[in-house]
Amino acid sequence: MLLCVNSIADKEDMATVNVTKKEVTRDLDHCDIPYYVSEFVEREVGNDYDSLRKLGSLIDKLSENKKQLEEQVLTVSSEVPKRIQKALKNAEDSKKSLNRLLEEEALLSDAIDSHLLKAEPWMEELGVLISQVEEIERHLSYLKWISRIEELSDNIQQYLMTNNVPEAASTLAFMAELDIKLQESSCSHLLAFVRSTVKFWHKILKDKLSSDFEEVLTQLRWPFVGPPQSQAFGLAAPANAPDIYNNLETLFCQLLKLQTSDELLTKPKQLPEKYSLPPSPPIILPIQIMLNPLQKRFKYHFTGNKPTNVLNKPEWYLTQVLMWIGNHSKFLDDKIQPILDKAGSSVNAGLEFSRALVMLILEKLAADIPFLLYDDALFCHLVDEVLQFERELYSVHGYLSTLPSCMHILSEESCFQRWLTVEKKFALQKMDSMLSSEAAWISQYKDITDVDEMKVPDCAETFMTLLLVITDRYKNLPTASRKLQFLGLQKELVDDFRIRLTQVMKEESRASLGFRYCAILNAVNYIATVLADWADNVFFLQLQQAELEVCAESSTVSQLQLGQLASMESSVFDEMINLLERLKQDMLSRQVHHVFKEVTDAAKLYKKERWLSLPSQAEQAVMSLSSTACPMLLTLRDRLLQLEQQLCHSLFKIFWQMLAEKVDTFIYQEIIMANHFNEGGAAQLQFDMSRNLFPLFSHYCKRPENYFKHIKEACIILNLNVGSALLLKDVLQSASENEASLKPNQPSATAALNELGVYKLAQRDVEILLNLRAIWPNTGK
């Protein structure tokens, strides 16, 4: 009690102290010394009166701090004026230096102006003298160039007088290089002098070497008008053959040296820019000379009013050129190519020879096409012959796609548009004839089982062959834009053919199980399959990339479509394939619906079977098929056999799986769920299904019951023995109650059903099936 009184007294004293203590507030705008003092006292002393004993040491400590602060203030107050004085002195010195420099700058500027004024007359005189010197130097350089050219010209003359043709040719080549270097000069007279000198000696040397070269070629019986085995000389080896071939090599090399000057003086004949020919160097001079007799023959026979120059026979000049290339290829490879390799030239003799002859063809085509552009028969014949020529030129003679070719002529705008028009016209005519043919819907390989897996009707196979031929015709076009236009034509043809198939299908829709209807379905499936295969072809993948670039530039498609094209998720034929797949699914659905309707009509008696009064299995000697199920199962069997013969394997697989799903749902909903079953009825149902319905599909898969899961699992539930059925019913009821009361860790209904082999049916469906069992023992519940 006494302790409590003392405690209360202490608290009252503390309260008195707190009350008498004056609270000090802080002035935030000024250095508030009272506030800091108050804070210091509060921190050091606080409410502990015993700490007042430390006041002596605290006062000493504060005095020491005060003394140190006073010393620091005195030190700073004495140093700051010295620093300021030093800075001011430096500023004064800098100002004096700046003024001195400004005075010196002014004096120097006046001196320079005075000097320039005095030197101005001298500069004008020196400028005149320098201009004269520069002019004299230009004249001297001009004279040196003239002297150099005249020296080279004299050297060539001396070489020719001594019959040193190789040195004369080398000197002319050097002179031609000087001509090229002078092309940037503005001295027009000098350029004309050099060019005229080069031209003068080039003509002399070219005439002399050409004459000698032609004489050697004549000795070789050039050109060869027959195949290599019939050539009189060429590759044969008479007694003087080594001398002839030595002369051939010497003259060939000397003519090669004239190539630079020849390119300077001779402008190659070029076709108009509208043909967009790729740039290519001029034909080398010796090959030009070798080609002269062949060019003369070509122009003689295939220009003017000659009987061999007719518009309806392009194959004549195309074949002639191919024969010339073939006849001379061995000689060029064996005799000319080694000379080029030895001379360090990168030219391929065979390609150079072929390129020159192809240019003759291009000139001929460019001249002839305007006259037959609007005659469909002649134009189409020309295109066919040109494509055949190109095919042989590339495959047999190794012509390069980077060189000018006939496809560049056919790619010219007016010619190309006409080609597209004619191609489409003849393709449509072909489609008309193939669909109107008596054998249009019959497979060519119907009697060959191994080949006729797709059961493709003749019209579909002919159509895809037509598309393949079109692809082969345009795949060598030089630009991707032209190829894409042809791809667009192919898509149009596919869509047109699809529409025609749809029209014929609608005419046959009343007989959806008929032969023609199935043939149309096979055709649709075949075309979609082939297009999907083509989509992975390198050629069409390249076109897809080109189409992506065009679409990205034109912004005609969505970002999603661009992304699909770029990621190769889609293909150039996707739109066509999707339309064909939709038609295929529609036709299959019609067939499934037709057969399913027949099955349901045949199952009317089976639906009315007295499942409640059938005898149990023990009461029957042998289980047999329900008589009312026979019409349904016979209908199924007949239609499956019929469509297996008429549809290809992949289509028939889709068909029977769709049909099985519908039959499974029908029997489950219309027969099982609509009736009650005694023990005998459940056993009969299971026998009908497992021993008769399921085996109908066993020919098409190993486990047909997996496609009738509703029926299979319903039969399991209906045929459970009484004890298992009661136990299952209790488990399902308990599971429902537990789910309602949210009791965990109770037996799972799903686990119980899975243990019985029931995976498809829901718990509620199983409860309904258990209630369809007619006889239950009296359990006293």
Q: Is the pLDDT of residue 544 over 70?
A: yes
What stretch of H or E contains 317?
Answer: helix 314-331
Which is more confidently placed, 64 or 287?
A: 287
Q: Is the pLDDT of residue 778 over 50?
A: yes
Least confident range of 46-60, 100-114, 619-633: 46-60
Any bridge partners for residue 773, and if so which?
677
Which is more confidently placed, 37 or 26?
A: 37
Angle CA(370)–CA(376)–CA(382) in degrees, nearest 5? 65
Which is more confidently placed, 741 or 582?
A: 582
Q: Is the pLDDT of residue 461 over 70?
A: yes
Indicate the SS3 state at residue 6.
helix
Least confident range of 197-211, 273-287, 443-457, 585-599: 443-457
DSSP3 helix / strand / coil % (the chain, rounded to 5): 75, 0, 25
Judge whether 520 and 455 are in contact, CB under 8 Å: no
Note the pLDDT of residue 51: 67
* Cα end-to-end distance, the chain, whole Å: 77
Note the pLDDT of residue 16: 39
Average pLDDT score, the chain: 86
| Nearest alpha-carbon partner for 223 in 113, 323, 334 | 323
Residue 486 CA to its chain's centroid (Å): 18
Amino acid present at 441: W
Q: Is the pLDDT of residue 83 over 80?
A: no
What stretch of H or E contains 120?
Answer: helix 55-161
Which is more confidently placed, 705 or 452?
A: 705
Q: Is the pLDDT of residue 746 over 60?
A: no
Judge whether 397 and 325 are in contact, CB under 8 Å: yes
Least confident range of 232-246, 580-594, 683-697: 232-246
C-alpha–C-alpha distance, residues 557 and 570, integer Å: 14
Q: Is the pLDDT of residue 117 over 90?
A: no
Least confident range of 18-22, 50-54, 735-739: 18-22
Residue 15: which pLDDT band, with cuts at 50, 70 and 90?
A: very low
C-alpha–C-alpha distance, residues 326 and 175, integer Å: 38
Structure tokens at 224: 């060869």
Q: Is the pLDDT of residue 593 over 90?
A: yes
C-alpha–C-alpha distance, residues 613 and 260, integer Å: 111
Q: Is the pLDDT of residue 553 over 80?
A: no
C-alpha–C-alpha distance, residues 288 and 210, integer Å: 10
Least confident range of 70-84, 167-181, 280-294: 70-84
| Nearest alpha-carbon partner for 547 in 496, 482, 495 | 482
C-alpha–C-alpha distance, residues 113 and 109, integer Å: 6
Q: Look up residue 420 and give its DSSP letter.
A: H
Judge whether 360 and 300 are in contact, CB under 8 Å: no
Least confident range of 5-9, 355-359, 735-739: 5-9
pLDDT tens across 467-482, in order? 999 999 999 999 999 9
Neighbour count for residue 263 (Cβ, 10 Å)? 16
pLDDT tens across 363-404, in order? 999 999 999 998 999 999 999 999 999 999 999 999 998 999
C-alpha–C-alpha distance, residues 335 and 368, integer Å: 36
Residue 781: which pLDDT band, with cuts at 50, 70 and 90?
A: very low
Over residues 141-147, mean pLDDT:
88
The CA-based dihedral angle spanning residues 52, 55, 58, 64, taken in that order and rounded to the nearest 10 degrees: 170
Q: Is the peptide bond before 307 cis (omega within 30 degrees of 0)?
A: no
Note the pLDDT of residue 155: 93
Backbone angles phi, psi at 309, to 5 degrees: -105, 85
Least confident range of 109-123, 402-416, 552-566, 642-656: 552-566
Note the pLDDT of residue 26: 55
Note the pLDDT of residue 558: 60
C-alpha–C-alpha distance, residues 660 and 221, integer Å: 81
Angle CA(585)–CA(586)–CA(590) in degrees, nearest 5? 115
Any bridge partners for residue 677, and if so which?
773
Residue 445: which pLDDT band, with cuts at 50, 70 and 90?
A: confident
Backbone angles phi, psi at 469, to 5 degrees: -65, -40
Note the pLDDT of residue 231: 57
Q: Is the pLDDT of residue 78 over 80?
A: no
- DSSP-derived secondary structure for 198-248: HHHHHHHHHHHHHHHHHHHHHHTT-S--S-GGG-SSTT---TTHHHHHHHH
Q: Is the pLDDT of residue 168 over 80?
A: yes
Structure tokens at 90: 């430096």
Judge whether 434 and 463 are in contact, CB under 8 Å: yes
Note the pLDDT of residue 3: 36
Tokens 């993948």 — which residue?
A: 541
Residue 263: which pLDDT band, with cuts at 50, 70 and 90?
A: confident
Note the pLDDT of residue 5: 35
Over residues 663-686, mean pLDDT:
94
